[in-house]
Amino acid sequence: MNDHLVKRRIEEIRNSNATSIDGFVRSDEAEENINQTLRSALSGEQGEAVMDYLRSISTNVVMHPSGSNEELRSLEGMRRMVGIIDARRKSIAKG
């Protein structure tokens, strides 16, 4: 990527109102659409059961000391994803 494009991208990020919980820049409308979709899909008992399952294979896992760097990175990525999904589903609707 050339220097001009990098500088332009940095400026776009600086000028954006907010960065999403997942680190990507989106419009407020796109953010709310994602949040609403996850609130709808993961609400109620079934949604909580899905989140319990996701936590059981990510957040609640303790790595064995002999786990490899790749295994640890994979697990941390899963934990981050579960955290993002959980935060979005618990978000308060705007408007």
Query: For all residues of the chain together, what is the average pLDDT?
Result: 90
Chain segment 19-51, per-residue pLDDT in tens = 789 989 888 899 999 999 999 999 999 999 999
- The distance of Cα 7 from the centroid of its chain, to the nearest Å, equals 26
What is the three-state SS of the chain? CCHHHHHHHHHHHHHCCCCCCCCCCCCHHHHHHHHHHHHHHCCHHHHHHHHHHHHHCCCCCCCCCCCCHHHHHHHHHHHHHHHHHHHHHCCCCCC
What count of other Cβ atoms lies within 10 Å of the Cβ of residue 55?
15
For position 70, what pLDDT does the model report?
97
